[in-house]
Amino acid sequence: GRIHHHRFVVKSSSYTRLCSTKKILTVNGKFPGPTLTASRGDRLIIQFHNKAKYNITLHWHGVRQPRNPWSDGAEYVNQCPIRPGEKFTYNVQLTTEEGTMWWHAHSGWARATVHGMIIVYPKPGTSYPFPKPYAEVPIILGEWWKKNVMDIPGNANKTGGEPILSDAYTINGQPGDLYPCSKQETFRMNVKHGERYLLRIVSAVMDENVFFSVAQHKLTLVGTDGFYTQPFQTDYIMITPGQSMDVLLEADQQSSHLYYMAARAYSSAFGAGFDKTTTTGILQYGRASDHSSSPIFPRLPPYNSTQASTEFSRRLRSLASREHPIDVPLKVDTHLFFTVSVNLIDCRGNSCKGPFGKRFSASLNNVSFVQPSVDILQAYYHHIRGVFEGNFPRNPPVKFDYTGKNLPDNLLTPDFGTRALVLEYNASVELILQGTNVLASDNHPIHLHGYGFYVVGWGFGNFDPEKDPLGYNLVDPPQETTVGIPNNGWVAIRFRADNPGVWFMHCHLERHQSWGMSTIIVVRNGDTAQTRLLPPPHDLPSC
């Protein structure tokens, strides 16, 4: 493979959106940040220089980073923060991934503006498993706050309530013409009649799943999270924070019209406040001046349509072809079961605006993740004691009716700790992620670093260990790096623990991650040199 060198300077830059100008964190002054392109098997060397006044780390979301968690970038998990003025070189080896991924800051809420796309093309001499598109169009979905995003988690922490809602969703950094002062800069996609386009869609949205659709144009899904899928036609997609989707679009409609592409929230969480606004871009045939009428609006599913969400997800299948085979473990030797809950804890001092005068928290298996003061990878590698414990529970502390109405009160309060789940090298793992109704149910997009896993099954209510495995798809389950747990439901994922290291796993809803809905998975070294963790780089920052 080739080696691509890049310089990423994080700094504060002025941007104007929604009628006001503010400073945001950017990479090289760009928002959204620069797109990285490479071919399968290439290496990205990114020299990172922090010229902002905040601690920042960068994560290469969806990249496997074989044996090299040193470049995975989760703050206090894989590395100490890169402090203002400091530098660090990320060494990102691409291996099995092919398609669309992204990079983002992994410090506080910085990823709201510090993010960009990673495009991995097929190896030279090979091609897409679908008809060659005429052109490719990157589409990053995001959220915009008028306030400084870096203050949001801290402010929420002070009150104990929910973090403030965003002021707009965005398409390629633009809110679109349904928002004030946004008409001129609305994202426009120019197409040629009769041609085929590949939309590379990434959700950098912070706090909601979204539906996305293009008026009157059928979409054909061909990939998710850097893995090819069996193509299927659909009017809309449902995409969670963290996910990416590749879709083909045929420009075969009347060229005299303008067409909106639009995204808005899919939220089934009862009672939760969320941003109900809609972001738009415009698809146009030829030049804009040829059109006078207003754009046609797409039929987006209603914001709470779990039916639309599940109908879409149900159709996802791995391509599972000879060129793109899958390797789902058929036998499992390590069974894990994690409950995924939002919790409440007592307020310490100050005013508290959460429900019942308490404050929000969140947990996996009733353990709420506490960020250590030295990164876990370093502690693991150098056997530094007292940073984390290797005893994250493999099952919930008590069995209960996870999705029922009257849940035991004591589960409302989680335990706190920095606990890692330790897996043997090459273990064949099945992990059930069980949503709960402990405080309220929600869709949780769970992301695992360092792995692409197979989604072999999912459903609503409590997972039934007798019946549900009978319905697993072990033939062509979709491969993903972020999976949405249905509201009050479960997901079963499988993977082989063949990437040694320290890997973060967390809900990609930023507010839930801030509340501790995270854990660490440590995968031990294998016996051979090729199955061991690589040594740390020389310029690793210290804490």
Instruction: Tell me which residues touch ligand C2O (CB under 6 A).
Output: 59, 61, 74, 104, 106, 242, 447, 449, 504, 506, 508
Nearer to Cu ion (CB atom), residue 133 or residue 435? 435
CB of 371 to ligand C2O, least distance (A): 13
- In SS3 terms, 223-277 reads as EECCEEEEEEEECEEEECCCCEEEEEEECCCCCCCEEEEEEEEECCCCCCCCCCC
β partners of residue 482: 447
Both tokens of 367, joined, read: 């353990």
Nearer to ligand C2O (CB atom), residue 61 or residue 494? 61
Return the H-helix or E-strand segment holding 510. Answer: helix 510-514
Pick from Cu ion, ligand C2O, none: which does 74 bind, CB < 5 to 8 A by kind? ligand C2O
Nearer to Cu ion (CB atom), residue 447 or residue 512? 512
Both tokens of 535, joined, read: 């040594």
Asked if 61 touches Cu ion (CB under 5 A), the answer is no
Choice from 507, 520, 522, 523 touching Cu ion (CB under 5 A): 507
Asked if 509 touches Cu ion (CB under 5 A), the answer is yes
Pick from Cu ion, ligand C2O, none: which does 447 bind, CB < 5 to 8 A by kind? ligand C2O
Nearer to Cu ion (CB atom), residue 229 or residue 482? 482
CB distance 340 to 444 below 8 Å: yes
53: left (phi over 0), alpha (psi -120 to 50) or beta: alpha
Nearer to Cu ion (CB atom), residue 98 or residue 442? 442
The site that binds Cu ion (CB under 5 A) totals a number of residues, namely 4
Nearer to Cu ion (CB atom), residue 249 or residue 432? 432
Token look-up 């390629």 returns 172
Nearer to ligand C2O (CB atom), residue 359 or residue 447? 447
Nearer to ligand C2O (CB atom), residue 74 or residue 412? 74
Asked if 508 touches Cu ion (CB under 5 A), the answer is no
Q: What is the DSSP letter of 79?
A: B
Nearest residue to ligand C2O, using CB?
61
Report the distance separating Cα 80 and Cα 381, nearest Å. 14
CB of 482 to Cu ion, least distance (A): 11
CB of 204 to ligand C2O, least distance (A): 9
Contact residues for 405 (Cβ-Cβ < 8 A; gap 6+):
437
CB of 106 to Cu ion, least distance (A): 17
Token look-up 């309530």 returns 161
CA 264 to chain centre: 17
Pick from Cu ion, ligand C2O, none: which does 59 bind, CB < 5 to 8 A by kind? ligand C2O
Report the distance separating Cα 512 and Cα 127, nearest Å. 39
Pick from ligand C2O, Cu ion, none: which does 242 bind, CB < 5 to 8 A by kind? ligand C2O
Q: By CB under 5 A, what part of segment 511-530 binds Cu ion?
A: 512
CB of 466 to Cu ion, least distance (A): 28
CB distance 31 to 173 below 8 Å: yes
Pick from ligand C2O, Cu ion, none: which does 444 bind, CB < 5 to 8 A by kind? Cu ion
Nearer to ligand C2O (CB atom), residue 69 or residue 160? 69
Alpha helices in 300-456 (DSSP H): 306-313, 376-381
Using only C-alpha atoms, the chain has a radius of gyration, in whole angstroms, of 22
Report the distance separating Cα 485 and Cα 499, nearest Å. 24
β partners of residue 446: 483, 507
Pick from ligand C2O, Cu ion, none: which does 511 bind, CB < 5 to 8 A by kind? none
Residue 248 phi/psi, 5-degree rounding, is -95, 145
CB of 111 to ligand C2O, least distance (A): 7
The footprint of Cu ion (CB under 5 A) covers: 444, 507, 509, 512
